[in-house]
Amino acid sequence: MNSSNPRRLVDEILRRNARNPALAWRLFKHLLSSPSAPPPSPSSIFSLSGALAHARLLPELDHLHHLLLNLPHSAAPHCLTALSLASSTAGILDRALSQLQSLRSHFPSHAPPIRLYNSLLGSSLKANRPDLVEALYKDMLLAGVSPDTYTFNLLMSSLCNSGRLDEARLLFDRMTLKGCQPNEFSFGILIRGYCKAGFSLRAVELLDGMERVGCLPNLVIYNTLISGFCREGRIGEAESLVDRMRKEGLFPNVVTFNARISALCKMGKVLEAYRIFRDMQDDELGLPRPNQITFNLILDGFCNGGMLDEARALVESMKESGFFARLENYNIWLSGLVKNGRLLEARMLLEDMVRKGLGPNLYSYNIVIDGLCKEGMIFGAESVISLMRNNGISPDTVTYSTLLHGYCTKGKASGASRILHEMVSNGCFPNSFTCNILLQSLWKEGRISEAEILLQKMNEKGYGLDIVSCNIVIDGLCENGKLDKAMEIVDGMWQHGNAALGELGNAFLGLVDDGNDSKKCFPDLITYSTLISGLCNAGRLDEAKKKFVEMTGKNIAPDSVIYDTFIHAFCKHGKMSSAFKVLRDMGKKGCKPSTKTYNLLIWGLGSKQQFNEIQNLINEMQEKGIPSDVITYNNLIRSLCDGGMARKAASLLEEMSKNGIMPNIISFSLLIKAFFKTSDFDAAQAIFHGALTTCGQKEVLYSLMCNEFSMNGKLLEAKELLQIAFERGFSIERFPYKHLVEELCKEQRVDDAQSLLISMINKGYLFDPAAFLPVIDALSKKGNKHEADKLSEQMMDMATYHEKSKFVNSYTQHGEMGPRHIKSKQDSSRGSDWRNLLHRDDGSGVAMKVLKRVQKGWGQGSIPSPRPQNVDPFDVWESTG
């Protein structure tokens, strides 16, 4: 080395080879091995170790660590500091901590700089290691290093992330005592922590204190607060903050608007959110333009609100503006279609994604599979699994568990066993969640012996009985009315954990391990919720209250679900004063009542026609910032209708619209029934047309109107609606076609009745053969033998197919995603009474004579009878090895 500054030469060599860490390392070792080589500078060590760390050359990094320990005492601490700092910056936390430990143990008199501690604290925070954050802070104080504002900010972030807000606030208050002044980041961290935990009002107190220490709130802090208030449903407070922002010269950006839109959508006020969305698109208003998140929020809001037509129009708009190009957009739309029963459309969307090369991911397929399974369309779900395999995506545990749950729900034992076997064969082993799905299915069906076998197999496979398993058993007992046994087991769990299941009988003894206290399953909130709900449903309210006291005595804090369970039970039994005591107790215990809580109370008051008290409750909801929803209004409509005030109830529809709440089918159905009850047919018709405009051409609305017209003697109006149902391809199972045909015949309108039958036949409906009998009787009485015989022949054909209707229904539900309208044209006609009608004693016996003549003439033979079907036994572990 001829240079007058050898250290600068080393630094230059390392700098030039920074892009080739391996070569730089070899050169460094060569230079360091020279007896005349000077110690490297901390900056060269930082550069070299940073390059090695980013290239993940970990053995070389460890070797460097060893070499630095042998440097002269004057250079080693500074180089070790540089090494640890570089490792921490590169995210190699374990190495960085080890290097700090070497620095602290070999050179105790050398205090590491605050920069190193802050870097390590930040890396520990990113790694979600609050334990390391606390240990580093303690070591820092032991080393005599004074924290700075950045240190306190990191510590507060860690405490807030762990939910330890009180400790974070205490640290914040101590900053000035330690000579550190909080900055806007300090305030922002604590404000975000409060808002995330649902304490936005406490966060505002911090905002008010910022100016006192010379900190000005920025847009990020305001957006955090506004988002917090919106999530809590405190729209008024959020609006006040927006006004405050403007006064301070800060203008809302797209994040501010997205927070408001998100909150409105979650509250069910999708139309109000959509109005804001449209305003953002108006150039003249000067508002922030909607971004990708805005579009996604509105799309998700439409889907969750059942507004499929609006969602579909938005999707088309997003495609035109380039906002519908990401997988996230497609997954939201997929989920929306599935939630609203558009499963065929969802399947087609999946295939369209594949064609366009957008590549549905595992989550996309699982969305559709879950929807199909919930609808009982298991074969359709399996066809989607075949599609995902063809596109190179393998099912995961969620996929198999969903399918398994679908088979269990349908009682398909052999199918569930096959899926379990396939799951294991494909290397996707069932977990405790999968086993609990099977256990819940068996237990709820009362198949105790098979549940026992499953429990044994779970133990053999290493799946211990967890609290979920125990809760499933307790829920099964409550569902089957065995409340005393359920309480006995819960009592035993406090002493013996899951071994308390032995109380079910000797067969369950030995299936559980009570030797390890750490593995015992003690009752939790779900356990008591299940038991209290069972007792309340059985009317055993005093015992439920005792369990509530026991639960709180065991330091298990009740949640709103348990309080709502009590409120519902008291309202159901007319004990409104007790229900209101529960509401007040919620407030005292710091458990915030929800919209559901108030809806239950409004329902209870409505059953007693206590309208003034209902209005007081609604006022209380508004004062507390608790939003009303469609159920709130439906309870109001129901109580007014029951009180004979249908027109006053109908006026609530306009109020709902003003408040951004969309009336649903129940809202309109209550009003339609109320107006029919008072024979106000014109008002019922007006509500019906309003329902079609708001909810769409729904089958349930047509069937309701048809039934009401039929029951009120408006036969021609009912017939007209039934004809529309035929044209729209609705299922006629819920339509009163049999009653309507019979009543038309009684009114001497045989031609109208016969035309209905012919329309059903021509449209391909499979319906109850009993519908033919009144027409056959009427035609025969009129002497129209030819038409009566023709209908009788058609009736015999229908009877043959009718016995196969269960098979037809099963095929159309489970087939390979067959068209939805095919399913709608099947009428299972549960409890068909056509055989009984054949033998009715009405004084004529005409239909029976006609049928015998037809059977003899056309050789139809005996009328077929349904055959019982065998069910495969459930042995879920048979093929799993």
Per-residue pLDDT, 602? 93
Weakest-pLDDT range from 106-115, 438-447, 729-738: 438-447
Per-residue pLDDT, 815? 37
Beta carbons of 800 and 864 less than 8 angstroms apart: yes
pLDDT at 838 > cutoff 50: no
Sorting pLDDT into bands at 50, 70 and 90, what band is 504? low
Average pLDDT on 664-678 reads 93
Average pLDDT on 788-814 reads 62
pLDDT by residue (tens digit) across 258-304? 988 888 888 788 888 899 899 998 888 888 899 999 999 999 999 98
pLDDT at 507 > cutoff 60: no
Weakest-pLDDT range from 351-365, 509-523, 787-801: 509-523
The residue ranges of every structural domain in the chain are 1-110, 345-428, 714-881
Sorting pLDDT into bands at 50, 70 and 90, what band is 413? low
Average pLDDT on 740-747 reads 91
Taking the C-alpha atoms of residue 82 and residue 103, their distance in angstroms, rounded to an integer, is 11
Both tokens assigned to 363: 């989550």
Which amino acid is located at 601 in the chain?
L
Per-residue pLDDT, 15? 66
Weakest-pLDDT range from 203-212, 281-290, 450-459: 450-459
pLDDT by residue (tens digit) across 310-341? 999 999 999 888 888 888 999 999 999 998 88
Sorting pLDDT into bands at 50, 70 and 90, what band is 596? very high
Average pLDDT on 609-625 reads 88
**661 or 411, higher pLDDT:** 661
Sorting pLDDT into bands at 50, 70 and 90, what band is 469? confident
**603 or 513, higher pLDDT:** 603
Sorting pLDDT into bands at 50, 70 and 90, what band is 821? very low
Hey, which of 13-27, 221-235, 531-545, 767-781 has the most confident mean pLDDT?
A: 531-545
Q: Please provide the DSSP assignment of 17-48 as one string.
A: TTT-HHHHHHHHHHHHHSTTPPPPPHHHHHHH
pLDDT at 847 > cutoff 50: no
Taking the C-alpha atoms of residue 62 and residue 82, their distance in angstroms, rounded to an integer, is 14
pLDDT at 483 > cutoff 50: yes
Per-residue pLDDT, 841? 44
Per-residue pLDDT, 314? 93
pLDDT at 690 > cutoff 50: yes
pLDDT at 822 > cutoff 90: no
Question: 152 burial class (0-12, 13-18, 19+ CB within 10 angstroms)?
Answer: buried
pLDDT by residue (tens digit) across 37-61? 677 788 888 888 888 888 888 898 8
Per-residue pLDDT, 686? 93
Per-residue pLDDT, 589? 82
Per-residue pLDDT, 126? 87
CB atoms within 10 A of CB 398: 16
Taking the C-alpha atoms of residue 865 and residue 36, their distance in angstroms, rounded to an integer, is 105
Per-residue pLDDT, 8? 67
Beta carbons of 438 and 876 less than 8 angstroms apart: yes
pLDDT by residue (tens digit) across 516-536? 444 567 888 999 999 999 999
Per-residue pLDDT, 1? 42
pLDDT at 150 > cutoff 80: yes
Q: Please provide the DSSP assignment of 159-224 as one string.
A: HHHTT-HHHHHHHHHHTGGGT----HHHHHHHHHHHHHTT-HHHHHHHHHHHGGGT----HHHHHH
What percentage of residues in the chain have a pLDDT greater than 90?
22
pLDDT by residue (tens digit) across 369-381? 988 888 888 888 8
CB atoms within 10 A of CB 126: 10
Sorting pLDDT into bands at 50, 70 and 90, what band is 592? confident
Average pLDDT on 816-832 reads 39
Per-residue pLDDT, 706? 93
Sorting pLDDT into bands at 50, 70 and 90, what band is 457? low
Sorting pLDDT into bands at 50, 70 and 90, what band is 857? very low
Per-residue pLDDT, 459? 61
Both tokens assigned to 470: 């125990």
Per-residue pLDDT, 468? 82
**440 or 808, higher pLDDT:** 440
Q: Please provide the DSSP assignment of 318-387 as one string.
A: HHHHT---SHHHHHHHHHHHHHTT-HHHHHHHHHHHHHTT----HHHHHHHHHHHHHTT-HHHHHHHHHH
Handedness of CA 45, 48, 51, 57 (dihedral sign): negative
Weakest-pLDDT range from 133-147, 420-434, 644-658: 420-434
Sorting pLDDT into bands at 50, 70 and 90, what band is 854? very low
Beta carbons of 346 and 368 less than 8 angstroms apart: yes
Taking the C-alpha atoms of residue 485 and residue 501, their distance in angstroms, rounded to an integer, is 10
Taking the C-alpha atoms of residue 206 and residue 220, their distance in angstroms, rounded to an integer, is 14
Average pLDDT on 117-136 reads 88
Average pLDDT on 84-105 reads 90
Beta carbons of 134 and 162 less than 8 angstroms apart: no
Beta carbons of 470 and 501 less than 8 angstroms apart: yes
The mean predicted confidence, pLDDT, of the chain is 81
**31 or 210, higher pLDDT:** 210
Both tokens assigned to 195: 């808002």
Beta carbons of 168 and 202 less than 8 angstroms apart: no
Per-residue pLDDT, 818? 34
Per-residue pLDDT, 496? 76
Per-residue pLDDT, 669? 93
**29 or 365, higher pLDDT:** 365
**Assigned CATH for 345-428:** 1.25.40.10
**31 or 585, higher pLDDT:** 585
Size (the chain), residues: 881
Largest CA distance in the chain: 129
Hey, which of 221-225, 231-235, 268-272 has the most confident mean pLDDT?
A: 221-225
Per-residue pLDDT, 455? 65
- The alpha carbon of residue 803 and the mean position of all alpha carbons in its chain are separated, in whole angstroms, by 40
